[in-house]
């Protein structure tokens, strides 16, 4: 093992290999979705050509899809049982829907621009409808269709970055990690290759359009448009089959253990900790599906077996997942863990392992200077000045039962304006820079001391305990029983202070979660 920053060439090579892998995933998502969109758009566009009512209906429906925010479509498709939850399947469906409008418009516009006199002349020469379509209409409409294909491809490259939020991979993985860790290097590692792919695809399709549009070729005649499109669609169908078959074949060939995580720094570190411990103490291969997003997405993923395990927090499991009423967690940290573990096993066939050794509770944060100036130590003391404050909270905190709605009722907390919804990783900078006056952060976040922030005491004990606990699918543990001793050995290994230091190493020193975990494991192993 290497310590953080001890072997930069190795880390750089690993990052480069990861970029290549994610670029390949990105290309596969784009190529497959655009190919499937072509498969739908071509017959649909030809069917509505010459039928104004149907044309308006079809184009209107495709336009409505374009007005829906892409992240909302990804989220909606997660609830469709036939699509299997997280992974590439719902991502491909969403990207296909987004690619339909430019392809349909390109084809329909190209068909409309074909002069009626040419069609009539072709029929006068004895050509039937299929021959007119193959020899006259489609060749003349091809430039417009290719223009729509270029637009659809570029759109798909951009939207595919969001697919990482639902575990579909691609270059968006770097972008979401970069946002979570406020790391510009990771942001560029995702954004620059995506931009390069979009530019390269556009140039390649433009060259193909020029190639196909040449009127005469002395030694080689381009294939007929119908044959060309059929070949492209066949290739897309083969890739679709390969993508559908691969997840089913992979467990038989390599039986990987899939470790997931939510989308903030601590979760990336803990997910990497699980992965490295499994790799070090078993012969299993580990696949990382990090930055999946919300608690509910991770829970559904592990429940359905899309991932084998991740790290959850007992208070989140108790309130957000199990929907237990506030106050029913009385009895201390051990009791809530036992009760939550029993309910997880009974309701979801999930095993909740003992705590890793620290609690990461919600913490209402203000600037330390404001706390000292106003003499604030607790949430109750901040209720009066909060009427003049602006707040920014993460999306989950704004909507969870153990989040802002219940907190405001318990304390009678009122703000100068409704709180802004913001990515959790960005709220700390917004508070430190004076853009807002109050946020709900994580008690173990390394940015709290670094940015001179202050946590307010939960003096009315609103928040339940939030011990970090590995949660694994029961069927996965039966398939890989060697995981159990590895996970049990992690109990009480990390203190809250240590976790805050690890978070700071990523957020402030811009080390990778992989390097930070390796360094901590090496130090921990040496001390035993």
Q: What DSSP letter does each residue of 77-135 carry, written as one string?
A: HHT-GGGTSSSHHHHHHHHHHHHHHHHHHHHHHHHHTS-HHHHHHHHHTT--HHHHIII
At 222 the three-state DSSP class reads: coil
CATH topology of domain 34-215+225-241: MetI-like fold (1.10.3720)
Q: Looking at residue 189, what is its pLDDT? A: 87
Q: Would you say residue 13 has pLDDT above 50? A: yes
Q: Looking at residue 199, what is its pLDDT? A: 92
CATH topology of domain 362-455: D-Maltodextrin-Binding Protein; domain 2 (3.40.190)
Do 34-215+225-241 and 362-455 come out as alike in CATH topology? Answer: no
pLDDT tens track for 480-504: 999 999 999 999 999 999 999 999 9
pLDDT tens track for 280-311: 999 999 988 887 877 888 898 899 888 999 99
pLDDT tens track for 53-79: 888 888 888 888 888 877 677 767 766
Q: How confident is the model at residue 424 (pLDDT cuts 50, 70, 90)?
A: confident
Give the whole-number percent of the chain exceeding pLDDT 90: 43
Q: Looking at residue 157, what is its pLDDT? A: 93
Q: Would you say residue 472 has pLDDT above 90? A: yes
CA distances from 91 to 67, 85, 222 (A): 17, 10, 34
Look at 113-122, 337-346, 413-422, 426-435 and tell me which has the smallest mean pLDDT.
113-122
pLDDT tens track for 260-278: 998 888 999 999 999 999 9
Cα 374 to Cα 387: distance, rounded to the nearest angstrom: 14
Q: Looking at residue 170, what is its pLDDT? A: 87
pTM over 0.75: no
SS3 content of the chain, % helix, strand, coil (to 5): 65, 10, 25
Position with higher pLDDT, 123 vs 233: 123
- The residues spanned by each domain of the chain are 34-215+225-241, 255-357+473-527, 362-455
Average pLDDT, the chain: 83
Report CA torsion sign: 209, 229, 169, 277. negative
Position with higher pLDDT, 97 vs 225: 97
Q: Looking at residue 140, what is its pLDDT? A: 80
Q: How confident is the model at residue 4 (pLDDT cuts 50, 70, 90)?
A: very low
Give the whole-number percent of the chain exceeding pLDDT 70: 84
Q: Would you say residue 221 has pLDDT above 70? A: no
Look at 150-164, 231-245, 293-307 and tell me which has the smallest mean pLDDT.
231-245
Q: Would you say residue 329 has pLDDT above 70? A: no
CATH topology of domain 255-357+473-527: D-Maltodextrin-Binding Protein; domain 2 (3.40.190)
Which letter does DSSP use for residue 387 in this model? G
Q: How confident is the model at residue 422 (pLDDT cuts 50, 70, 90)?
A: confident
């Amino acid at each position: 093992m290497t310590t953080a920053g001890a072997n930069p060439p190795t880390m750089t090579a690993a990052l480069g290999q990861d970029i290549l892998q994610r670029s390949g995933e990105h290309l596969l998502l784009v190529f497959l979705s655009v190919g499937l969109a072509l498969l739908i758009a071509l017959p649909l566009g030809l069917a509505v050509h010459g039928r104004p009512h149907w044309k308006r209906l079809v184009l209107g429906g495709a336009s409505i899809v374009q007005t829906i925010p892409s992240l909302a479509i990804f989220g909606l498709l997660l609830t469709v049982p036939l699509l299997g939850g997280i992974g590439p399947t719902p991502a491909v469906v969403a990207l296909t829907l987004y690619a339909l409008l430019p392809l349909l418009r390109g084809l329909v516009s190209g068909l409309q621009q074909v002069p009626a006199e040419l069609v009539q002349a072709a029929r006068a020469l004895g050509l039937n409808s299929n021959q007119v379509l193959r020899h006259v209409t489609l060749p003349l409409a091809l430039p417009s269709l290719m223009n729509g294909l270029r637009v659809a491809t570029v759109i798909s490259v951009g939207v595919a970055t969001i697919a990482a939020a639902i575990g579909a991979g691609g270059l968006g993985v770097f972008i979401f990690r970069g946002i979570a860790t406020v790391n510009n290097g990771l942001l560029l590692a995702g954004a620059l290759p995506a931009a390069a792919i979009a530019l390269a695809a556009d140039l390649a399709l433009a060259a193909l359009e020029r190639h196909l549009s040449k009127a005469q070729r002395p030694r080689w005649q381009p294939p007929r448009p119908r044959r060309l499109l059929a070949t492209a669609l066949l290739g897309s169908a083969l890739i679709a089959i390969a993508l559908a078959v691969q997840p089913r074949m992979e467990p038989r060939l390599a039986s990987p253990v899939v470790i997931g995580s939510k989308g903030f720094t601590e979760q990336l570190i803990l997910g990497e900790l699980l992965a490295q411990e499994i790799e070090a103490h078993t012969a299993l291969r580990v696949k990382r599906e990090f930055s999946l997003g919300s608690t509910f997405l991770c829970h559904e993923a592990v429940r359905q077996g899309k991932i084998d395990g991740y790290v959850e927090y007992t208070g989140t499991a108790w309130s957000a997942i199990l929907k237990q009423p506030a106050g029913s967690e009385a009895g201390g940290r051990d009791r809530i863990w036992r009760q939550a573990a029993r309910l997880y096993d009974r309701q979801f066939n999930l095993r909740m392992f003992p705590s890793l050794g620290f609690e990461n509770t919600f913490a209402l944060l203000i600037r330390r200077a404001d706390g000292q100036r106003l003499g604030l130590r607790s949430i109750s003391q901040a209720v009066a000045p909060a009427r003049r404050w602006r707040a920014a909270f993460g999306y989950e905190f704004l909507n969870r039962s153990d989040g802002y709605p219940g907190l405001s009722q318990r304390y009678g907390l009122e703000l100068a304006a409704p709180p802004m919804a913001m990515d959790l990783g960005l709220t700390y900078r917004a508070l430190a820079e004076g853009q807002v006056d109050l946020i709900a952060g994580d008690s173990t976040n390394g940015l709290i001391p670094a940015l001179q922030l202050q946590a307010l005491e939960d003096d009315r004990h609103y928040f339940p305990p939030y011990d970090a606990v590995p949660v694994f699918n029961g069927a996965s543990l039966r398939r890989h029983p060697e995981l159990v001793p590895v996970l049990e050995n992690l109990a009480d290994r990390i203190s809250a202070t240590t976790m805050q230091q690890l978070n700071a190493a990523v957020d402030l020193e811009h080390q990778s979660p992989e390097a930070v975990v390796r360094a901590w494991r090496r130090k921990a192993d040496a001390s035993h």
